[in-house]
A and B are shown apart, each in its own frame.
Chain A
Amino acid sequence: GAGVSQSPSNKVTEKGKDVELRCDPISGHTALYWYRQRLGQGLEFLIYFQGNSAPDKSGLPSDRFSAERTGESVSTLTIQRTQQEDSAVYLCASREDMNTEAFFGQGTRLTVV
């Protein structure tokens, strides 16, 4: 079946504009994660959704960042008033349960100019 799908693959935006990134998890996966990866750096945790539980938002770097997930399906990560330091690859991952592999999407490369 299909893997984790993210769109767009690449996004160039002007500083100050809002952007919305989309993640389609694998069907049936209850857990969904967003990470940020700056060039040559590690996977920085942003937010985590698990079923209908309240999300873990502890990694969101500022109130310009927000994310939503409808049930156990699509998630969107919104960055308002983008800054140059927001430039990075944003990776989404999903998991069936807490003892299984997380599958990553191909990422969205965001460039703020």
Chain B
Amino acid sequence: DIQMTQSPASLSASLGETVTIECLASEDIYSNLAWYQQKPGKSPQLLIYYANSLNDGVPSRFSGSGSGTQYSLKINSLQSEDVSIYFCQQNYDSPWTFGGGTKLELK
């Protein structure tokens, strides 16, 4: 199975700040990477697919980048509603696998 390693596991940032979350795949996944946001008590929601394509309705302060085995999610101008857990997921090879999650809190 492809292992997905996220860092950091938790992150504290101030309103208006820019934050970056990293995701490392154990092998090349050819940009077949998605990012999901899970707000407290809710189900995950798709943010980004194909590493850098923004899902419909997702604010433009979210962006994704990367290739090969290394990917990142960037949130510009952090808002209070961005407090969530963020997961990466590879859909290159079965079984599809998720990163362990990054918990983002406000400082």
Decide whether A and B are members of one complex.
no
